[in-house]
Amino acid sequence: MSSSGITGFGAYIPRLRIQRSLIADAHAWMAPSLRGAAKGERAFCSWDEDAITMAVEAGRDCLSGIGVESIESVALVSTTLPFADLQNSAVVSSALQLKASTESMDIAGSQRGGTSGLSRALQSEKSCLIIGSERPVAKPASAQELAFGAGAAAITTGSKDVIAGYLAGATVTANFVDHFRAAEEKYNYYWEDRWVRDEAILKLVPKAAASALDQAGISVRELDHLIMPPVQRNAAQAVARKLGFEGKLADELKQNCGYTGAAHPLLMLAGVLEEAGAGEYILLIGFGQGVDAILLRTTEHLAAHQPMRGVKGSLADKLDTCDYLRMLSFYQGIELDWGMRSEKNSKTMLSAQYRTLNQTAGFNAGRCAQCNTIQFPQLQYCVNDGCRAPSEQFENISLVDEPCKVFTFTNDWLSYHPAPPLNVGFIQFDNGARVSMEMVDAGAGGLAVGVPMRIVFRIKEIDWQRCYRRYFWKATPELIKED
């Protein structure tokens, strides 16, 4: 076994869920056949979630027991990155408060990007963080609208306290077009399933898998877990039969999440690592313009390096909605008349944004060295009237993981907000800080004074004129309260 391998993992799945039957019912007038595939529920992003915000949350989950100091490289994998010419991984790195010397890279253009990036990380001498994060968009009334989901998974690699050792890897590259999306288009175009299955999945996957197994000297019958993303229905079962695999097929997360594109192999891997024991063999497959096959074996360190939430925690922490039009609105599938209040200029002053990056990206409050008062935002002087010490004496204190609760709140139905009402108020942190913040994902039970909250990374505002997104931190209930 190589000395390198996986050292940590984490996951994030958006809270918002909708029953697929509700989507099918909305299209029953023109596509009644959709009802046959309308089983379970799918996850979808709120208006203020995207590949960057989900990546930050998955990264936080992964790094909760590891720390950021050891990370030397970060890669963000997605085919739905919000920026085409601005490094998305740099935004993630800043929010995770990684060192300025940390290498950052975006990986896009293929749903095999997650496994390709992981393969490179596993063969690197550096301590790497690779995050797959995806918010796939589907044309309304398509089969993909039912099948898709949203989510992110983060994996760290290195040579210390390895929880799954890297044994071997193999790649088969093929210019096989199973689906595509042109750079200027919103939706994917898919080719015929049987052709993809017979000519690509059942020919290329076994070839890559056999190569990886041969390199490691492992028989397919020794495998405990096979991870094959659901690029089409029953793909995993077909591959298992072709390989002669008799172990456990990984949960495809179809029933309660949906297919998350480039993030899905890593998300399924995180799910397997939550369940696996020491000494188990895992074969991970990535598909898209070829195949990646990665062979891993879990170690005795696995049990001690579980994430705080992981896949299980994210799936359990859900907020059901019956509003199909809400999902369409959040994915720009319909154009709504928001009224005159929405007609405002949201231009971001990029110079001011950079000057305050230390405070906003890491949500760093200032602790006064003289009186210990904690304040956000950090002003030029201590807000304590009896102190007034200059800001040069402040110590940075991140509020991201600080326990907090609702101090005051209001539900604003007058201001424009993409998910009304706009919930704002003061959040009281256990360390004494008190900050006016937006509160999201309150659920049908709403908010109440004293409700425990946690801090999440979200889109603060979108400048639709210049298509720029500003990010900041918001508060959300620690546990969803339903009526």
**Domains contained in the chain, number:** 2
Distance CA 88, CA 85 (A): 9
Q: What size, in residues, is the chain? A: 483
CA gap 56, 471 in Å, rounded: 11
Does some domain include residue 368? no
Say yes or no: 357 and 217 in one domain: no
Q: Is residue 376 part of a domain?
A: no
Please tell me the predicted confidence (pLDDT) of residue 480.
63
Contact call for residues 442 and 432 (beta carbons, < 8 A): no
Residues 260 and 302 in one domain: yes
Percent pLDDT > 70 in the chain is 99
Nearest C-alpha neighbor of 260 from the set 292, 227, 229: 229
Whether residue 424 is found in the same domain as residue 278: no
DSSP-assigned letter for residue 366: E
- Tell me the Ramachandran region of residue 162: left when phi exceeds 0, alpha when psi lies from -120 to 50, beta otherwise: beta
- Examine the domain organization and report whether 77 and 102 are in the same domain: yes
Answer whether residue 46 is part of any domain. yes
Q: Please give the structure tokens belonging to residue 329.
A: 């609105």
Q: Are 131 and 92 in contact (CB under 8 A)?
A: yes
Instruction: Please check whether residues 275 and 172 belong to one and the same domain.
Output: yes
pLDDT at 481: 52
Confidence of residue 209 (pLDDT cuts 50, 70, 90): very high
pLDDT on residue 437:
96
The enclosing domain of 356 has a CATH number of 2.40.50
**Band of residue 3 on the pLDDT scale cut at 50, 70, 90:** confident
Q: Does residue 73 form part of some domain?
A: yes
pLDDT at 155 > cutoff 50 = yes
Catalogue the E-assigned strands of 314-381.
319-320, 364-368, 374-375
Q: What is the pLDDT of residues 416-468, one digit of tens each?
A: 999 999 999 999 999 999 999 999 999 877 899 999 999 999 999 999 999 99
What are all long-range contacts of 365-368, with beta carbons under 8 Å and residues at least 24 apart?
365/396, 365/397, 365/398, 365/399, 365/433, 365/435, 366/391, 366/394, 366/395, 366/396, 366/397, 367/394, 367/395, 367/396, 367/397, 368/393, 368/394
| Residue 144, phi-psi category: left (phi > 0), alpha (psi -120 to 50), beta (remainder) | alpha
In a domain, 388, yes or no: no
pLDDT in tens, 55-64: 999 999 999 8
In which band, very low, low, confident or very high, does the pLDDT at 204 lie, cut at 50, 70 and 90? very high
Contact 411, 388 (CB under 8 A): no
User: Using 50, 70 and 90 to split pLDDT, how confident is the model at 483?
Assistant: very low
Amino acid identity, position 127 = S
Q: How much is the pLDDT for 342?
A: 86
In this prediction, residue 340 carries a pLDDT of: 86
Q: Is residue 335 part of a domain?
A: no
Can you give the pLDDT at residue 151? 98
Q: Do 155 and 182 reside in the same domain of the chain? A: yes
pLDDT at 345: 84
Query: What is the four-CA torsion angle of 274, 275, 278, 280, rounded to 10 degrees?
Result: -110
Q: Look up residue 208 and give its two tokens.
A: 């890559």
Structural contact between residues 169 and 212, judged by C-beta atoms closer than 8 angstroms: yes
Predicted confidence at residue 210, as pLDDT, reads 96
The residue among 349, 437, 352 whose CA lies nearest residue 399 is 437
194 in a structural domain: yes
Residue 182 domain-assigned?
Answer: yes
Residue 242 is predicted with a pLDDT of 94
Name the domain boundary from 279, 308, 330: 330
Write the DSSP assignment of 218-282 as a string of letters: --GGG--EEE---SSTTHHHHHHHHHT--SEEPP--TTTT-B-GGGHHHHHHHHHHHH--TT-EE
Same domain flag for 267 and 356: no
**What crossing angle do the helices spanning 264-275 and 113-122 adopt, rounded to 10°?**
60
100 and 204, same domain (yes or no): yes
Looking at the structure, tell me whether residues 306 and 413 fall in a common domain. Answer: no
Count of CB atoms situated within 10 Å of the CB of 242: 14
- 359 and 319 belong to one structural domain: no
Residue range(s) defining the domain that contains residue 403:
341-363+399-477
Cα separation, 304 vs 301, whole angstroms? 6
